[in-house]
Amino acid sequence: MEQLRTEIEQRNPAQPEFHQAVAEVLDTLGPVLAARPEYAEPGLIERLCEPERQIIFRVPWQDDRGTVHVNRGFRVEFNSALGPYKGGLRFHPSVNLGIVKFLGFEQVFKNALTGLGIGGGKGGSDFDPRGRSDAEVMRFCQSFMTELHRHIGEHTDVPAGDIGVGGREIGYLFGQYRRITNRWEAGVLTGKGQGWGGSLIRPEATGYGNVLFTAAMLRERGEDLEGQTAVVSGAGNVAIHTVEKLTALGANALTCSDSSGYVIDEKGIDLELLRQVKEVERGRVGTYAERRGGSARFVPGGRVWEVPADIALPSATQNELDENDAAALIRNGVKAVSEGANMPTTPAAVHLFQQAGVAFGPAKAANAGGVAVSALEMTQNASRTAWPATRVEDELARVMTDIHTTCRETAARYGTPGDYVTGANIAGFERVAEAMLAQGVI
């Protein structure tokens, strides 16, 4: 394993996030390789760590003043052993090939855990939609899809949204795909509007699913969410719906954050005000504190993890919770940490939580609700039907319960009871590995 890690780092230089994601999985596979040596013989792990296809392309577009800009677009189609590539598109200045590869690698295992027959991929661009007009975002999306369309399809690769890609961007992308291909292929993108092929509960699914996974971890310890306090990072789609589900289940979400700092609200986050500020006005969380009144306080540039709470739900971006943050949370008595974002906790922080006996839900299990409902959207598109919200939410709850059970049972089977990281990694690996072995060396 150590030799393989070295080879992967040499083959993929200057991609620390990808190295981190691969190392985190490889470090947990020892028990399964000892029990199932056939997984190591045909170079299976080497193939699993190498994307099937990596696509990089130029995205030229004009702003409202007529100035031409050139961004870079990416799509990494990582593994299709279980089904068509499935994973979001991220529009953010930090996007590069290493970021997209780490996200695609994580997606392979996450999608396998859902049991819904989807492979793993990811994509995006270093384009920043923040501060851009709708017309500028539309022109960028049209240029992006002009190239991407040749690589995707409902039976090939099905993108969705991620950071910087919401309903507006999905609409523009789908419109351009339809225009170029002359096909109403609803299943080519998920996260669509509900009036034209989208699924109810899809916007809520990642946040809802993470809260449901957290509740399942607490139940294992004889507790529930009722009356618990929670710190939530972020103020985007995942964070907002995390707050919503926490509130519905009787917990009190105290915080939200963005790159400017964080807000602590002793009365609990006012969901409607947060939505108005972030989704309608596209403002900063400081504005929330100004309007909320005496119960809320804005801390510029602070770390949300310094706020004492029972539960921590990192829901913003990768590596946002480090070793010092973990130590602060543990000192303040945190019981459970569950990842709503993709790889938001550094390896050293994960180790601290596990040493301290904190229940820890890794992203590939805890935030799989979003892609699960995306797969359900694909199912609805294939049959040209639309399910009621109650059915979708029931299916989401079933998938998250199954994922929790699978991770718990797999961890126990391989001698690490309560270790959801090992359970998630091995369970996802086994499902992908079996399919790869059956399909030959390809």
DSSP string spanning 327-367?
HHHHHTT--EEE-SSSS-B-HHHHHHHHHTT-EEE-HHHHT
Residue 293 has pLDDT above 90, yes or no: no
Contacts of 387 by beta carbon, 8 Å cutoff, 6+ apart:
199, 200, 376, 380
Residue identified by tokens 């100035």 is 67
In the prediction, which pLDDT does 168 show? 95
User: CB-based contacts of 393: which residues, under 8 Å, 6+ apart?
Assistant: 201, 208
CA 63 distance to own-chain centroid = 30
Would you state the structure tokens that stand for residue 346, as one six-digit string? 């550094």
Half-sphere exposure of 345 (CA within 13 A, CB side): 28
Inter-residue contact 193 to 217 (CB < 8 Å)? no
- Residue 190: closest CA among 380, 51, 53: 380
- By percentage, how much of the chain surpasses pLDDT 70? 100
What is the reported pLDDT for 42? 84
The H-or-E segment that residue 122 falls in is strand 119-125
Quick one: pLDDT at residue 134? 97
Mean pLDDT, the chain, integer = 97
Query: What local confidence, expressed as pLDDT, does residue 40 receive?
Result: 87
In this prediction, residue 181 carries a pLDDT of: 98
> For residues 218 and 226, is the Cβ–Cβ distance under 8 A?
no
- Per DSSP, the residues of 149-205 read GGG-BTTTEEEE-BTTB-HHHHHHHHHHHHHHH----GGG-SS--GGGT--TTTTTH
* pTM of the full structure: 0.95
Classify domain 205-361 by CATH architecture: 3-Layer(aba) Sandwich (3.40)
What's the CATH number of domain 2-187, 3.40.50.2300, 3.40.50.10860, 3.30.230.10, 3.40.50.720? Answer: 3.40.50.10860
Q: Which tens digits make up the pLDDT trace of 319-354? A: 999 999 999 999 999 999 999 999 999 999 999 999
Asked if the model's pLDDT at residue 204 lies above 90, the reply is yes
Q: Are 292 and 271 in contact (CB under 8 A)?
A: no
The answer to whether 243 touches 263, Cβ cutoff 8 Å, is no
**From CA 106, how far away is CA 90, in angstroms rounded?**
15
- What pLDDT score was predicted for residue 193? 96
Counting residues of the chain whose pLDDT is more than 90, the rounded percentage is: 98
Query: Would the pLDDT of 41 be above 90?
Result: no
- Sole residue written with tokens 């707050």: 243
- Domain positions in the chain: 2-187, 205-361
The model's confidence at residue 145, banded by pLDDT at 50, 70 and 90, is very high
3-class secondary-structure state, position 414: coil
Please list the active-site residues.
122
